[in-house]
């Protein structure tokens, strides 16, 4: 997304919403303000709501929202696990392999 200097939460939300490919299928619900590590003040968190949740996946490594099949990199052997990149897939496979030792 690049570097932005936001003045308020609605500006941040607007930039995020503008990156979505099909804006009409999503809505946002405020979940309140939360504390995060290495962030000095509470930040508002939103839940992404969609009519078709089967089209939304979250990369288990970087937690990136994957909302289109073009972005998805499938796990080679496990169903319903998707990644944003080969790098995240490799980390996942290495962690799983090392945890079985």
| pLDDT tens profile 15-74 | 666 766 666 777 888 889 999 888 898 988 888 787 766 677 888 999 888 876 666 888
| Host domain of residue 67 | 56-101
The domain boundary residue, chosen from 9, 28, 51: 51
* 47 and 64, same domain (yes or no): no
From CA 65, how far away is CA 19, in angstroms rounded?
A: 12
Q: Are residues 42 and 86 in the same domain?
A: no
Co-location of 74 and 42 in the same domain: no
Q: What is the total count of domains within the chain?
A: 2
Q: What pLDDT does 69 receive?
A: 61
pLDDT (0 to 100) of residue 70: 64
What letter would DSSP give residue 15? H
Nearest alpha-carbon partner for 46 in 26, 66, 60: 26
Does residue 76 sit in the same domain as residue 35? no
**What is the per-residue pLDDT across 74-99, written as a single tens digit (0 to 9) for each?**
888 888 889 989 999 999 998 877 77
pLDDT of residue 3: 46
45 and 70 together in one domain: no
Alpha-carbon gap, residue 35 to 51, rounded angstroms: 29
What is the model's pLDDT at position 87?
Answer: 94
């Amino acid at each position: 997304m690049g570097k932005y200097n936001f003045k308020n939460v609605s500006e941040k939300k607007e930039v995020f919403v503008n990156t979505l490919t099909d804006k009409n299928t999503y809505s946002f619900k405020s979940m309140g303000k939360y504390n995060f590590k290495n962030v000095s003040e509470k930040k508002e968190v939103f839940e992404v709501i969609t009519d078709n949740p089967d089209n939304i996946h979250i990369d288990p490594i970087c937690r990136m929202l994957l909302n289109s099949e073009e972005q998805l990199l499938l796990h080679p052997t496990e169903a319903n696990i998707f990644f944003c990149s080969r790098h995240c897939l490799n980390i996942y496979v290495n962690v799983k392999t090392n945890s079985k030792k």
